Amino acid sequence: MGCAKILHLSTYVTLLAFFPLRAYSTDVENRSAPDACSTHTILPGPKGEPGQKGDVGEIGKPGKEGPKGRKGATGGLGDVGDQGLIGKFGPIGGKGDKGYKGLPGVPGGKGKPGSFCDCGRYRKVVGQLDNNVARLKSSLNFVKNVIAGIRETEEKFYYIVKEERSYRDALTQCRIRGGTLAMPKDQATNSLIADYISKMGLLRVYIGINDIEKEKHYVYTDNTPVQNFSNWKEGEPNDGSGYEDCVEMHGTGVWNDVECHLTIYFVCEFLKKTK
């Protein structure tokens, strides 16, 4: 290809004019085998028909990753966000300024004529009363401690008088002292008196129950009937002698009807509060 390209057609014509083909060929044959391109001139043939169109090539390899793109333009304004939660309570505010003075009210009616009050004197009396109450409380505690065996509940004091008396005299003695013969109207009170009797080393005392007015109709000294509570000894009340209309309590707490002229110790009760 190289020689054909180097020697142009016009060049060949020129060469033929100066170098006859024969002499040249003889000369050429006598020489050692020379290069064809340097000794022969081959003219190109006519251009052939165009070849068939080639098949579609394979899919090319993926290209290299491109360079980082340029920064985009600033985006549009975002949507409005949701409403936030209610915040914490703030600290207590400072004290407000004093308000303006209100309008004067309607004058009140004329009061009643006053009376002289010696308040200082009353205060002094009240003070003395307080002292007296304190002294009385102290004295009462002293008496309760000294008088062996005095008993009490929320409402009453109970006191056994160690004097042998008939029922009527015993009742009188209790009343003289400001009380009455003891009236056990419930188990608690009955137990308290029974314990009192036994602790005093006694066997029996009068209590404030009798059927003097009506046989078998027992009443307390305040004339209330014995009905909700009773603690008769087994076999009692038997009205043994036919005249047993008064009631005694034994150290065990049981009741027995005895004759009212019997002289024995007795137990009085005293109310703590006057109604």
Contact residues toward ligand GN1 (CB under 6 A) are 236, 238, 240, 244, 256-258, 262
Joined tokens for residue 258 = 């005895």
Q: Is residue 257 a contact residue for Ca ion (CB under 5 A)?
A: yes
Cα gap 178→270, rounded to integer Å? 7
Least distance to Ca ion from the beta carbon of 236, Å?
5
Name the closest residue to Ca ion (Cβ): 257
Q: How far is the CB of 242 from ligand GN1 (least distance, A)?
A: 11
3-class SS of residue 16: helix
Which of 238, 252, 261, 271 is close enough to bind Ca ion by CB under 5 A? Answer: 238
In the complex, least distance from residue 259 CB atom to Ca ion, rounded to whole angstroms: 9
Q: Does 243 bind Ca ion (CB under 5 A)?
A: no
User: What tokens does 178 get?
Assistant: 């400001």
Binder of residue 245, out of ligand GN1, Ca ion, none (CB less than 5 to 8 A by kind): none
CA atoms within 13 A on the CB side of 225: 6
Query: Total number of residues binding Ca ion (CB under 5 A)?
Result: 6
- Shortest Cβ 258–ligand GN1 spacing (Å): 5
* Span 121-160, contacts to Ca ion by CB under 5 A: none
Ordered DSSP codes for 195-212: HHHHHTT-SEEEEEEE-S
Q: Considering the complex, what minimum distance in angstroms separates the CB of residue 244 from ligand GN1?
A: 5
* Residues 6 or more apart whose Cβ sits within 8 Å of residue 44: 4
Write down the least CB distance from residue 242 to Ca ion, Å. Answer: 11
Residues 214 and 236 sit within 8 Å (Cβ to Cβ) = no
Q: Which is nearer to Ca ion, 192 or 207 (CB)?
A: 207
CB 263 within 8 A of CB 228: no
Q: Is the separation of the CB atoms in 224 and 128 below 8 Å? A: no
Q: 42 vs 212, which CB is nearer to Ca ion?
A: 212
Residue closer to ligand GN1 by CB (options 185, 233) is 233
Nearer to Ca ion, 105 or 235 (CB): 235
210/212 Cα distance (integer angstroms): 6
Residue 269 binding: pick among Ca ion, ligand GN1, none (C-beta 5-8 Å cut-off by kind) = none
Cα diameter, the chain: 203
Which is closer to ligand GN1, CB of 211 or CB of 236? Answer: 236
At 127, is the secondary structure helix, strand, or coil? helix
Q: How far apart are CA 255 and CA 237, in angstroms?
A: 8
Q: Which residues bind Ca ion (CB under 5 A)?
A: 236, 238, 240, 244, 256-257
